[in-house]
Amino acid sequence: MTVVTDKQSHAVRRKSPPGRPRRRVTREAAAAWILVLPFVVLFLAFTAGPVLGSFGMSFTDIKQRDLRTPFSVNGVGFGNYVKALSDETFRKAAFNTAYFVIVGVPLTLVVALGAAVLLDRGIKRFQALFKVAYYLPVVTSIVAIAVIWRFVLSPDNGLLNTALGWVGIDGPNWLASKTWAMPSLIAMAVWRNFGSAMIIFLAGLQGIPQSVEEAGQIDGAGPWQRFRYLILPLLRLTILFNCVTMGIGYLQFFEEPFVMTKGGPLDSTLSVSMYTYNQFGFGNYGLATSMAYILFVVIAVVTFIQFRLLREK
């Protein structure tokens, strides 16, 4: 990879007048290092360092009281990992996170794709207006959204139950119900995030030439068949991209339960991120980092699997 790239840039540079090539290369490299330096320093200190640091910490019994002396702690091997994985509450949090991702990601993508098709094929007038409006929730703070949605979902005078009341449905106390709390968080996540996947689907749809659909039409395929057998396969990479980015985001969901349910009722909306944060709050830094690393490994594995599943066939 290195060789190829260097050769390419070399070939391009050949257009420049010859003479003093040596000095130019060194000057170029010197300038490059000056330009790269601030990033490298900040990156080492605040990203690479902490990534390695948390890996190390996850094998120690570091606690809040060791904050000032992080190197005087004891190694505990895989103790934290064993403790996390055998912890009932952590398992519950892992189950909840899986629930949130497995239901939430496909739902978000379906809504996003539906909206994208609607805008691309159906809505020609005011298309830009619709697009911007659907995207609005994406740019807003999840915390603020969660605060608003708590009122939308409030049992007696919330927006949702009032609207349901018009059609004769007596809505439950969404966030206080073990059954309904998680679906409520998922609904909110879909509402907030479908816009970002929609924008990417739209770009994907607009990249498909008109002739593809026309060919299908000539062959007598109906709209659904054209979508299912012509458009959808061509969107594979776009779906993959959305699936991966949504999956990574949803696996870390945190603000929603923090603001709306505090993880309740009875831990039914406690996420891995939130449990990790709670352990951090209790001062169990070693345990918290081991949980974060488990989450990280899951994110990496899930991403890898998604690539495999959608790449092949």
Partner 1 sequence: MRRTWWIYLIGVLGLVAVAAPFLWMVLGSFKTQGELLRVPPTWWPDQPTSQNYDDLFNKANFPRYFLNSMLVALAVTAGNLTFCSMIGYALAKLRFKGRNALFVLVMATLMIPGMVTFVPLFVLVTNAGLANSYPGLILPFLVSPFGVFLMRQFFLGLPDDLIDAGRVDGTTELGIFARIMLPLTRPALATLGILTFLGSWNNFLWPLVIAQTEDKYTLPVALALYSTGQNAQNYGLLMAGAVVVVVPVLVMFLAFQRHVTRGIAITGLK
Query: Which residue carries 């969901």 as its tokens?
Result: 253
Tell which positions 264-283 bind partner 1, by CB under 8 A. Answer: 273, 276-277, 280
As a whole number of angstroms, the distance between CA 56 and CA 49 comes to 10
Q: Which is nearer to partner 1, 115 or 185 (CB)?
A: 115
CA 145, 146, 152 angle in degrees (round to 5)?
A: 90
The size of the interface with partner 1 (CB under 8 A), counted in residues, is 106
Task: Dig out the tokens for 205 from the structure.
Answer: 């749809």
The region of 47-55, 86-94, 212-220, 223-231 touching partner 1 under the rule CB under 8 A is 47-55
Q: Which is nearer to partner 1, 181 or 199 (CB)?
A: 199
* Options 106, 165, 222, 233; binder of partner 1; rule CB under 8 A: 165
Q: Which is nearer to partner 1, 144 or 309 (CB)?
A: 144
3-state secondary structure 234-298: HCHHHHHHHHHHHHHHHHCCCHHHHHHCCCCCCCCCCCHHHHHHHHHHCCCHHHHHHHHHHHHHH
Tell which positions 176-195 bind partner 1, by CB under 8 A. Answer: 191
State the nearest-atom distance from the C-beta of 85 to partner 1, in Å: 17
As a whole number of angstroms, the distance between CA 164 and CA 162 comes to 5
Q: Does 45 bind partner 1 (CB under 8 A)?
A: yes
Cβ proximity of 257 and 250 under 8 Å: no
* Options 43, 78, 229, 307; binder of partner 1; rule CB under 8 A: 43
Tell which positions 80-109 bind partner 1, by CB under 8 A. Answer: none
* Options 76, 93, 142, 270; binder of partner 1; rule CB under 8 A: 142
Task: Give the residue from 230, 280, 223, 232 showing the smallest Cα distance to 254.
Answer: 280
State the nearest-atom distance from the C-beta of 60 to partner 1, in Å: 11
State the nearest-atom distance from the C-beta of 182 to partner 1, in Å: 19
* Options 59, 134, 174, 250; binder of partner 1; rule CB under 8 A: 134
| Cβ contacts of 201 within 8 Å, gap of 6 or more | 112, 113, 115, 116, 117, 235, 238, 242
Half-sphere exposure of 79 (CA within 13 A, CB side): 13
Q: Which is nearer to partner 1, 133 or 232 (CB)?
A: 133
Q: Which is nearer to partner 1, 98 or 248 (CB)?
A: 248
* Options 241, 264, 265, 310; binder of partner 1; rule CB under 8 A: 241
- CB atoms under 10 Å from CB of 93, counted, come to 26
Q: Does 145 bind partner 1 (CB under 8 A)?
A: yes
Q: Does 21 bind partner 1 (CB under 8 A)?
A: no
Q: Which is nearer to partner 1, 70 or 75 (CB)?
A: 70
- Whether the link from the prior residue into 265 is cis, omega within 30° of 0, is yes
